[in-house]
Amino acid sequence: MSWKPRTRPPSLRKDPARVGRALGRVLEELGLDVEKTRRLDQALTVALGPELAPHFELVDLRGRTLELRADSSSWSQELALARGQVLARLQAALGPEDAPTEIRLHLR
């Protein structure tokens, strides 16, 4: 017996659906604020500056703790030294109610 692909009659076929609207609804149901995450990501890129930003990835925001993933331990140390400045820049960009107050670093 040879394999044959399953086909649906034309009356049961559906056109592909756009995920844009559905994705926003699903993320909202999961408690994820897409706009807030986008603002945080943009503010983080500016706060880190052109030297540090390419070496870090936003992982999560848990409460007021920002979790970032670093390329290497040396970049992690660089950010540890600049932590206060980065947090101050984030607070200036996002406001005191939305800005993280701590940074937790992970390595790739």
75 falls within a domain: yes
Tell me the pTM: 0.72
Whole-angstrom distance, CA of residue 47 vs CA of residue 64: 16
CATH classification of the domain holding 48 = 3.30.300
24 falls within a domain: no
Backbone angles phi, psi at 103, to 5 degrees: -125, 130
Q: Which domain holds residue 42?
A: 33-107
Q: What is the pLDDT of residues 60-105, one digit of tens each?
A: 889 999 999 999 999 999 999 999 999 999 999 999 999 999 999 9
Q: What is the pLDDT of residues 34-68, one digit of tens each?
A: 788 889 999 999 999 999 999 999 998 899 999 99
How many CB atoms neighbour CB 68 within 10 A?
Answer: 22
Q: Going by DSSP bridges, is the β-strand pair 102-107/65-70 parallel, antiparallel, or unpaired?
A: parallel
46 falls within a domain: yes
